[in-house]
Chain A
């Protein structure tokens, strides 16, 4: 299991160090600094083994979080834990950076004491942790309250407090989808998949059990339900989901048997489910970029955006991000619609359109002046893809 956990700033100075097992010594702290943080480009794996000690690291903001072990631990679990640890810290004090970690080091030690025991992760749900680890010192809780806290920490529903009351019971549901697209130079779609998530915000009283029925159009691959393979059934009307994953509050066995998502929601914001589909993806937009290098220090970029959905629908807050080479010195922009701006800090042109109807087209053209910087000029620009967001 995890032998120790360290937090470093970007320079490699230790901000937090907590050792859980004897086999990890303080030397490990320095070994990681010297071999990973200071040799950034050479180390190309999130897991490093040095002298029979394994280091797992993630980087969030300008902070490195590193777990150390000398055993054959469950690697997936360690990374999941590190991510959860950083989420928990963020929910306590906002952005994860050196300043905040230093400001809250006492709190972080308290957290580490609670969520990791002898290297075994315990309950890491921030909602529950907040009931008994607070920044205001300890509340003098009554005996009843205490036993309530403890039963909740270990209970079956570790993610929800009892006795929550709202005047108005509300439940918000957002579906966010990421379309990932690979296109050939001829504009042919090579592969596309949608990674979607259902984000919820719930403000409900008591201990409600929520149930979402899934309509019959949805078929989930690999679930092996009789008839699912029937080609007649999987016609165009069906929404085929390749796979989905659920928050820990969802009763997975029920989903298997009844085909319904049933859960007792945590309070506040959380991600209920994630899904993935690859079939019959209709792209809402087409983005056609044209790039021409007119001379050694001039470039012309033209991007056409075509909306591909029904004219009755409307897309809002469209944002197209066109990356530019790092040695850009100036940009002249002309766009038919919306506003565009060159952001030098992000090396990109950001083009915003407030709303756009279906089956429409719009374009932007830009002239980019490049600085010739001698040797650096030779280094190829790795042409990042154009990305866009909309609601």
Chain B
């Protein structure tokens, strides 16, 4: 066998030669030619010109040749859709072949040919195969339905394949079940509405199949179980019990998927029960065992362990030693292990960790060494008792005079100073000795910070800083900014002999620099100093907040989301899937709300309860309707408005519609429903409950600190009110807002919705709604800070919108410490600037707040 020769043909006129060979009578020659064609295809040559000739070879009883031709077809059918039709007959014939292998092959291949005309022909054979007696053949179409759904979703639904696919879930053959599950899960993810509902029965079937199917099948089943939310604790416990044996499987994917399901279910189970304690005990060993697998799998496992350790630190707290780096670990495994070591470090094991880290700091790989040095610093900050030892270790490392080690050490020592001020100043002199070796901006900036901070204790601080000022223009911005601040600090501490220096730096920063940040900071200092030196002292030398222990923890909300994706790419990147996958529908998985602990449900006003998933689908695309409505409301008609006014105020307390003075019309639906607004305003074809409509483009968002989140917000109070108004007219929304009958007259306010998700805005969650209080529109909001730092300085601004809505008074929110929420009600008026928005319900609001020193901006579209 020397098939490699096919790779070496590079002659001219090759295509022509192949053509004649393909049409040759001799079977042997034909086969050779097809092989050559496939080889050229692999290398990336375009051999599509041979399409008809290759298709001619399809009718053969040689399975090997057939497979090659099929392979060719899959590659080129798309570019030659008309010619591909030629192959259909053979396909259909093959689907009837007595040999199950060929039947399956034909269906499988047909599914891969993504030409509309062919898919039409696919339906019939597919239906037959779904009922084939041979499990091998049944197995194939399960996946094939998913393929077809990908090409033409409507066709699949019309032909009833989904039902047949669901039937396969109860197939006798476990592998068929597994593939059906995989297909259904995929279809579920891409479709706009849930196509299958998992219930206790199907889950039980899956759990039974789990014990019998192949390793891959087990992965599919476990992954789909992760999406299921058990009804009660008993069911959850039952699932846990039945899947825990999977932890001993040799396939890492099975183990990790099991861990994922367990981690999710643990949240449902009552806390502190024996069962959980036992479960957690069982979780640790398999994860440790994953670390003796292939390095790539170790990497995936470590990234996941990193998440698990953050979520439940108790699981692996005893296992520090297994994360010690081995000599022959690939670098990516080493780096991850180092991260986990720091997370697991605590008082009891810190000595061990430190001695390890010290070893690592003498390794060869530069990045790894740097990270180790940083890790030592993090230990010092995390475990106070060890700080002293860490500092002395760092000093030892500085003595090695290895350039990058020294630089890194300087950076972490700066952090240690921040955490333990006025404790380890004795080492400053050693640091100063190494001043000349620092050439990286971060290290230089750190060193300058230290000099500025301890200027009063360093005798020659002015000289040291002066030496930096010499080359001011050559420095990186980071260093320049730090130098500016440090010189000012120095001046404030020792005003006598440093005036000249400070003036030089200030003029350098303000006059000779193009950098706006630097210039602005320079001016601020300058004015502060010239206006009121005492105030300057208060500002510049203010007490700094201590830095927190865990600096690089993930945001809790992100962590929760990632825990639901254990084993998957999201858990490897530590990013939510939406950031690297283009999905038709952003599907967010969240941990199930614990039945025990207090959870932050969106607070519902007015006693209407709706599952939150429905809320997002409420966004109607009823431009035309609103357009008509709007003509009424923006120019308040005293006549129309008046007549309804009493109703509006007594019967309903809220809703943008009656703010606009017309909702009442519709809300009186029982009396003159259809004749009301709905009837005149909207053609019945207006689609309600349509998919989520992204209302504002993301363009330009990248430049903002967080991409401007576009929020599916149509369903806010305004819409709620609109809905009310439409009940009489269209009735579509009435269903969605089930239970609100116009006649009831109960004050209705749309429940608060999440306008801004924490994961998309660095941890600030904003829920809100519009409602009406004593005749005034009020924007009712709840801010929740899920970030690590406190937020303050809230301010709000409305962009011009269709309703002329604008805040009547400034937003008042108290500074928000981490993990707390604050409610705020913002009265609004409707005499602001009016601008027609597209769609009309679109309302853009900017909310500003300070997190630490950063200025943030969010744009919400409602």
Contact = CB atoms under 8 A, between A and B. Distances in A.
Nearest to A6: B42
Interface stretch (A152-160, A165-173, A340-348, A363-371): A152-160
A191 B573 contact: no
B253 A76 contact: yes
Interface stretch (B323-331, B500-508, B590-598): B323-331
B38 interface: yes
Contact of A46 (B182, B332, B570, B581): B332
A247 B250 CA distance: 6
B253 A384 contact: no
B196 interface: no
B114 A22 contact: yes
Contacts of B7: 102, 105
B233 to A, nearest CB: 19
Interface in A130-189: 132, 135, 137-138, 141, 143, 146-147, 149-151, 153-156, 158, 180, 182, 184
A102 B3 contact: yes
A26 B278 CA distance: 49
Interface string B131-158: 0001111011001101100100000000
Interface string B282-314: 111110110010111101110000000000000
B245 A155 contact: no
A72 B577 contact: yes
A154 B292 CA distance: 30
Interface stretch (A206-214, A251-259, A309-317, A349-357): A251-259
A76 B137 contact: no
Contact of B572 (A75, A146, A243): A75
A122 B332 contact: no
Interface stretch (B172-180, B382-390, B519-527): B172-180
A274 B292 contact: yes
Interface centre among A29, A45, A135, A382, by most B CB within 10 Å? A45
Contacts of A21: 150
B726 interface: no
A337 B64 CA distance: 58
B182 A123 contact: no
Contacts of B299: 45-47
Interface in B763-814: none
Given A105-B42, A117-B140, A123 B569 contact: no
Contacts of B219: 74, 77
A143 B212 CA distance: 26
A151 B216 contact: no
A54 B289 contact: no
Interface in A64-89: 69-77, 79-83
A147 B100 contact: yes
Contacts of B1: 103-104, 135
A127 interface: no
B497 interface: no
B101 A146 contact: yes
B3 A70 contact: no
A81 B95 CA distance: 29
A110 interface: yes
Interface in A15-74: 15-22, 26, 29, 44-47, 49, 52, 54, 56, 58, 69-74
Contacts of A124: 214, 216
Contacts of A72: 565, 568-570, 577, 580-581
A49 B573 CA distance: 9
A150 B296 CA distance: 33
B493 to A, nearest CB: 43
B414 interface: no
Contact of B282 (A223, A271, A380): A223
A355 B134 CA distance: 57
Contacts of A69: 569
A1 to B, nearest CB: 7
A74 B282 contact: no
B281 A118 contact: no
A132 B136 CA distance: 12
Given A103-B4, A180-B326, A193-B322, A79 B44 contact: no
Contacts of B246: 252
Nearest to B260: A74
A242 interface: yes
B652 interface: no
A8 to B, nearest CB: 11
Contacts of A374: none
Given A72-B581, A106-B3, A224-B282, A382 B44 contact: no
Nearest to B256: A76
Given A110-B64, A122-B216, A385-B327, A70 B581 contact: yes
Contact of B251 (A29, A80, A182, A255): A80
B253 A252 contact: no
Interface residues of B, number: 112
B582 A146 contact: no
Contact of A106 (B64, B70, B186): B64
A13 interface: yes
Contacts of A246: 248-250
A75 B150 contact: no
B3 A103 contact: yes
Interface in B236-272: 244-246, 248-253, 255-257
A118 B367 CA distance: 39
A253 B211 contact: yes
The interface centre, meaning the residue of A75, A76, A118 with most chain B CB atoms within 10 A of its CB, is A76
B515 interface: no
A26 B44 contact: yes
B136 A153 contact: yes
A143 B216 CA distance: 28
A121 interface: yes
B43 interface: yes
A79 B297 contact: yes
B101 A150 contact: yes
Interface in B434-489: none
Contacts of B292: 195, 274, 276
B530 interface: no
Given A103-B4, A138-B63, A76 B285 contact: no
A390 interface: no
B581 A71 contact: yes
B861 to A, nearest CB: 24
A99 interface: yes
A80 B6 CA distance: 31
Most chain B Cβ neighbours within 10 Å, of A29, A44, A69, A245: A245
Interface of B: 1-4, 6-7, 35, 38-39, 42-44, 62-64, 67-68, 70-71, 75, 98-101, 104-105, 108, 111-112, 114, 134-137, 139-140, 143-144, 146-147, 150, 173-176, 179, 182, 186, 211-216, 219-220, 223, 244-246, 248-253, 255-257, 278, 281-286, 288-289, 292, 294-297, 299-301, 321-322, 324, 326-328, 331-332, 335, 352, 355, 363-364, 367, 565, 567-573, 577, 580-582
Given A45-B299, A242-B288, A253-B245, 11 more contacts: A49-B580, A54-B569, A71-B569, A75-B300, A76-B253, A77-B257, A124-B216, A135-B1, A154-B135, A155-B175, A190-B324
Ranked 9 nearest A-B pairs via Cβ:
A243-B285, A150-B136, A102-B4, A77-B253, A252-B245, A72-B577, A76-B253, A138-B63, A121-B216
26 contacts: A29-B44, A46-B295, A46-B296, A46-B299, A47-B573, A52-B580, A73-B569, A75-B571, A76-B257, A83-B294, A103-B4, A105-B3, A105-B38, A121-B216, A138-B64, A147-B100, A150-B101, A154-B175, A156-B212, A191-B324, A222-B283, A222-B285, A243-B286, A243-B288, A252-B245, A276-B288
Interface of A: 1, 13-22, 26, 29, 44-47, 49, 52, 54, 56, 58, 69-77, 79-83, 99, 102-106, 109-110, 113, 117-118, 120-125, 132, 135, 137-138, 141, 143, 146-147, 149-151, 153-156, 158, 180, 182, 184, 190-191, 193, 195, 221-224, 242-248, 251-253, 255-256, 271, 274, 276, 278, 379-380, 382, 384-385
